[in-house]
Structure 1
Amino acid sequence: MAREQLGICTEANLHGGYLFFNALEGHERVLRHKLARLPQLFDRLATHFSEALLTSVVAIGSNYWDMLYPDARPAGLSPFPDLPAEDIDLAPVPLDLMIQIRSDRLDVNFIATQQVLQLLQGHAELQEHIQGFRYLDGRSLTGFIDAPCNPKGKTKRVAALVDHLQQPVFAGGSYLYLHCLNFDLSSWQQLNTGQQEDIMGMDKVSGKPFLAGRQAADSHYAVMQPDTAQGIFLQQNMPFSQPKVQGMLQLTYAADAGVLLQQLKRRLGLAEQTQGYDQLLNYSRIDFSAAFFVPSISFLELAAKL
């Protein structure tokens, strides 16, 4: 049975680090071996610092996949779509690699990050390093509970992991859409609580969604609620803050690439039967978006031997 990367369906952590790389041309063979070693590296650290609950994700950019693994490609894996959304720039970028490091200890994240950088030095160039954190009781910087529609328990795996009956080679893997959002908190904080709740479609304190009579069709909750007919997905988001930028890294995992595309269209008001785009985007700017596939540990190890 394929061994999935534990960071896909992990529970919430206090700290997160996100490393974005572009690979050097001609280093594919070496990188296949290096990437296959990363899960072992993280396993050793997770055992040594067991109280930190360290997990990781090694994701391959959709544009880079064929260069790194030319013999097999996940069904439906495509570059991040640059959809014609009015006044919304998705800012897609072709990133080659994304490595997520999450734990309950910032020093353990630092140690893991340094070992990753050392392992990939001379083979991939670091483009961006973003550090995230858990905010209060799992809220975004808007002050609202984040991802209230997320599946729970075993349903997480159903939502996020490729089934072996559908794609045996890529079983245990996951499709990933990533957005780096910059919140306009000064404008957001000028709204009163009722106005914020109408935009979000839920109670600010409890996170409970509004009933149909008050729930606007273009509220954040309404457009982010999975369309079960299209398939479900799993969000693993984390806020971040820099001196001049506050926002959130939104990571959406799914077992099927089509689910991610349909959900993106729903959020942008481009899907059938939608009545507008996510109103929270009026208070956000997307700094960049990217599409990845997260192969299973079994795939990483097997591909390194070929």
Structure 2
Amino acid sequence: MSSQRVPIEPQRVDAPLTASATFLVLKVNRTPDSVKTVRSTLAGLDSLAKNVAIRDLSSRFACTVGIGSDIWDDLTGLPRPAELHNFREIKGAKHTAVSTPGDILFHIRSERRDICFEFERQLLDQLAGATTVVDETVGFRYFDVRDLLGFVDGTANPVGPAVPDSVLIAEEDTAAQGGSYIVVQKYTHALSAWKSLSTEQQEKIIGRTKWDNVELDDAESGQKSHKTLNTIEDEQGNEHDILRDNMPFGSPGSGEFGTYFIGYTRRLWVIEKMLERMFIGDPPGLHDQILDFSTPLTGTTFFAPSSSLLASLE
């Protein structure tokens, strides 16, 4: 007698980088009706997505949903993913990775800004009275996928068959299978101070050449580059990647320039190790020098369950 498993369909965490994105973080109002409304909305998200995406099938629309630690039990009633917990503040000698609240993350992506806008409008209409917006950040693609510091962003992302192994939980946590951990941080840049550096100084901090994105060796002083500090190996020497879908945001008129960091990972400890190395330093005291010009305003952790799980919530 053969047994069959319910198919697990991951969310589109590996959707391609688009020209526009909205990062929407919400707090769920703690009432039974609010939780019920949120649960119903998440269960019906595919229908809402189709309603908007049909307007332009070439827009490459995608929406990924992440659920925070504080709301997981009340919202899902399901076993907790093994590593799910609130973002832990990391305090270095000079810089701090702050921890900020958030129950639900919607990572909304499309080649068209109006498609993102319309999906968010209809989504918040459904959630009216049940949630409060904590943060809404609109990102855009900047030339050849560069950040506002002028460097190509996301070069170290896994590609092809390496993506699922880096991003999607498998047999190590059967209750969370097909899901992914998400960490978001909203950074603002002191752009004038950054531009006062020479190109060579900027390249040493990043660990790559600015024009053609070639890797550079670290300085002999022991100060590691941003690239090196974000390269994580386990005790067996195996390197672990994450999938970044970072986007610039800002307004020259208001003097705001920033990068919205969003990392998807199969292993939450990998991103946490990256942040420890950046903010505390490796060795301690030699922090990532990019932090002298980039300040995190937020820090929140979520879990993106499989789309199969989301659809079963109601």
Q: TM-score, normalised by structure 1?
A: 0.92
What is the letter of the counterpart of residue 261 of structure 1? Answer: E
Do the aligned residues in 1 keep the contact of 2:23 with 2:106 (CA within 8 Å)?
Answer: yes
Question: Structure 1 pair 122/223, CA: closer, same or farther in 2 (3 Å)?
Answer: same
Q: Say if 1:149 and 1:224, in contact at 8 Å, map to a contact too.
A: no
Q: How many residues align?
A: 301
In 1, Cα distance between equivalents of 2:289 and 2:47: 42
> What residue identity is the alignment partner of 1:181?
Y
- Residue number in structure 2 paired with 1:70: 77
Q: C-alpha separation between the residues in 2 aligned to 1:183 and 1:278?
A: 14
Q: Distance in 1 between the 2:206 and 2:295 partners?
A: 17
Q: Is the 8 A contact 1:197 1:204 kept in 2?
A: yes
| Distance (Å, rounded) in 2 between the aligned partners of 1:153 and 1:40 | 29
**Which of 84, 89, 95 lines up with 1:88 in the alignment?**
95
Unaligned runs of at least 5 residues, structure 1: none
Distance 1:274 1:39, change over 3 A: farther
Residue in 1 that maps onto 2:262: 251
Query: CA shift at 1:213, angstroms?
Result: 6.5
The equivalent position to 1:239 in structure 2, one of 241, 248, 270, is 248
Distance 2:227 2:285 in 1: 13
Per-residue deviation, residues 80-128 of structure 1 (Å, max 9, x unmatched): 0112312212221121111111111111111111111111111111222
Task: Name the stretch that deviates more: 116-125 or 80-89.
Answer: 80-89
1:218 pairs with one of 214, 220, 224:
224
Q: How far apart, in 2, do the equivalents of 1:50 and 1:275 lie?
A: 50
Tell me the TM-score normalized by structure 2.
0.90
Contact map agreement 1:197 1:203 (CA 8 A) in 2:
yes
* Change over 3 Å in CA distance of 1:192–1:213 after alignment to 2: closer
- Secondary structure of 1:167's counterpart equals helix
Give the match's secondary structure for 1:266. helix
Q: Runs in 1 of length 4+ with deviation above 4 angstroms?
A: 212-217
1:186 aligned residue: 192
Aligned-partner residue type, residue 201 of structure 1: G
CA–CA separation in structure 1 for the residues paired with 2:199 and 2:281: 28
The RMSD of aligned alpha carbons is 1.9
- Which residue identity is paired with 1:260? I
1:302 aligned residue: 312
- 1:1-306 map, 5 Å: 1-6=7-12, 8-26=13-31, 27-163=34-170, 165-211=171-217, 217-227=223-233, 229=238, 231-242=240-251, 243-269=254-280, 276-304=286-314
Q: Distance in 1 between matches of 2:186 and 2:221?
A: 27
Identity of aligned residues (%): 28
Which deviates further from its counterpart, 40-49 or 201-210? 40-49
